[in-house]
Structure 1
């Protein structure tokens, strides 16, 4: 007799898996300057390393979405665990630029597997407003984990601890989610058609294509400024890691209490409001210095807070026939967009630094 599905335990395990993703994002952002100095890497090389994190993400998300109906979330999360563990250890013992590229790609693959397995698994376990609420609370732990990771990175850096010691911290949530998932029964795919061809046909819906185009833009507005917060704001008169902690902390709180807001405004209203606040926040952050950057960060956080989970929730609720593949492709597009822009942002920073020093 099969073990009954413990939806809450699976949900908590998924949250710790996403915290692993968040730690790999924020701690990497915190060590960029130290990593560049120790290994003699310029900002373009650092940007290329960052792009591997974002490149591995969509690759495994899309493949996971394609095969989700056939292999289920359990095997995908086992692959995520192996990729996370190997990638983290390779990063700690990295000796050159190429090793960092490979290790970061592996971590990105593990992160993508987490999204590919956990998003549809949560959508299969809950329905209606509860599903949207759970997706928001699940994605709360990406900014929530970034807050914790940013603070850990700041304190460890201020204590003159090596960047390798900070990477070891990422293993903590990795071990926890492995323990929570161990021995559990997983739900069978429920949303959409099990046929990949049927999923692809559903994804040709103009509404899905529009949301995919929006995801490419909203994702880079979230991940671009956050990943480069250290080099960009280092001399702006505010603590970069505190800015990152403030932004992601507000995002975590906003996503936790998203249920009543969605019920009142509906998903489209929430996304429209996010776009307005996002534009205001990005403009303020690009024009202000000193303590006003903390005010700008509040607007920016309110803008990007609801983008990712509610775009996924909107597709899951309104186009369920796209299945797990539709969710994975949508998230993959966002991460691929972020991957493409990482070296570009690095080049912008390098070129503007040269101009400033001239």
Structure 2
């Protein structure tokens, strides 16, 4: 049995695979919701609310991040009290109930009731997502305290794996077999059930801060006693906006502008991320975690701008390649960096950083949708002119312009991160150099 270093009898390998399966489930849910979002928008929103359907579906997708943020913030400090195993089971249950509520939304009477049920389903899926993040990251950090960057990146490599499977299923069922969007959403509970059954058989460890003997009150107080901690949630707000917000938007924005389903761009990006995250440990040893994040910002900015002007499958894939190389390390490396610097904060510190990332998408994604809606009306010449457009080249030009404006709005974020990461990297290198100098004994 592969046990923890503490010899507590936990099957480290089995627990790590439970964590990866839950990450995969959350990603599959995210990918399928994204892949089906265009079809959901067309089936439920375009008819009763054609002028604001882009903002409405973006807000619904963003509400999953609200559920994500709320459950992550609520569960993180209480993880040891509740028990990681119970949280994993709760997460699995949400990935069963949430899709069920989304499937029920067309059965409601009236657009208000339909949209309300759709949003509730999205929030419940988000609750499961937040519970996943609140549990698997501290569990992995506790299982591998000396190898956090590598293990957390390997764990989160299964996020793009879930995106790939969900994206391909969306294309196969919606585009190729022309099945209704409900057929894809109904698949989300399958891995959730498998994860719950797997988790029921395993004991789970306590978090790193509990293993260190840090009392609950001290764990809660730790981030507030260390002002330098708060730069990490602030940075995470921006890194999540550069990675997950565009990932939620590619299907709606690109499908009608590049000549291929936008979800396939996300699948391609996810394949690159799955491979690259396995090399994070080696790169972190070469550059440091902040150095790795610093170098990631340049291709992320270029890739996002490229997606804004992509007009063919080739240009979309070229831009997506750069974007993928830029964003693949952001989320897990940010979590590892915070955990390494503030271990006494345990699951609470990790949860705050993840909460900031989730709230970023909750606020940013609807704004992207609003930019998209404003741009399409501007290009068309007003609401009545847009409403009069028929499917064809003219509508395609209008939507291409809207996609360009929405992606360019977030392409600035990696440039801001370039400055921030550079400043942090230089400051930490200087601090280490001073520490080494002071530790050297003066010659007699």
Q: Does the TM-score normalized on the shorter chain lie above 0.5? A: yes
* SS, match of residue 150 in structure 2: helix
Aligned counterparts of 1:282 and 1:236: Cα–Cα separation in 2: 15
Show structure 1 runs of 4+ deviating over 6 A.
none
1:331 corresponds to which residue?
Answer: 354
1:160 aligns with 2:165: no
Q: Is the 8 A contact 1:193 1:322 kept in 2?
A: no
Aligned counterparts of 1:244 and 1:193: Cα–Cα separation in 2: 43
1:186 corresponds to which residue?
Answer: 204
1:327 deviation in Å? 0.2
RCO higher in structure (CA 8 A, sep ≥6)? 1
Q: Is the 8 A contact 1:274 1:302 kept in 2?
A: yes
- Name the Cα RMSD after superposition: 1.7
1:118 aligns with 2:136: yes
Q: Is the 8 A contact 1:69 1:194 kept in 2?
A: no
1:86 deviation in Å? 1.1
Aligned counterparts of 1:230 and 1:190: Cα–Cα separation in 2: 39
1:242 deviation in Å? 1.7
* SS, match of residue 58 in structure 2: helix
1:246 deviation in Å? 1.0
1:17 deviation in Å? 0.8
Q: Is the 8 A contact 1:56 1:105 kept in 2?
A: yes
Q: Is the 8 A contact 1:196 1:325 kept in 2?
A: no
2:231 corresponds to which residue?
Answer: 210
TM-score, normalised relative to structure 1:
0.95
Q: Which runs of 5+ in 1 are unaligned?
A: none
1:38 deviation in Å? 1.2
1:237 deviation in Å? 2.0
Q: Which runs of 5+ in 2 are unaligned?
A: 1-7, 47-52, 108-113, 382-444
Q: Deviations over 1:164-198 (max 9, x none)?
A: 11011112211221121112111122236643432
* SS, match of residue 208 in structure 2: coil
Q: Deviations over 1:312-358 (max 9, x none)?
A: 10111121111110001100110011011222111111111212222
1:25 deviation in Å? 1.0
1:177 corresponds to which residue?
Answer: 195
1:55 deviation in Å? 0.2
Q: Deviations over 1:12-39 (max 9, x none)?
A: 1111111111111111111112111211
Size of the alignment, in residue pairs? 356
1:146 aligns with 2:163: yes
1:272 corresponds to which residue?
Answer: 294
Aligned counterparts of 2:310 and 2:184: Cα–Cα separation in 1: 31
1:257 corresponds to which residue?
Answer: 279
1:78 deviation in Å? 2.0
1:228 aligns with 2:249: yes
Decide which structure has the larger Cα Rg and report it: 2
1:49 aligns with 2:96: no
Q: Is the 8 A contact 2:208 2:344 kept in 1?
A: no
TM-score, normalised relative to structure 2:
0.77
Q: Is the 8 A contact 2:258 2:310 kept in 1?
A: no
1:315 corresponds to which residue?
Answer: 338
Q: Is the 8 A contact 1:21 1:142 kept in 2?
A: yes
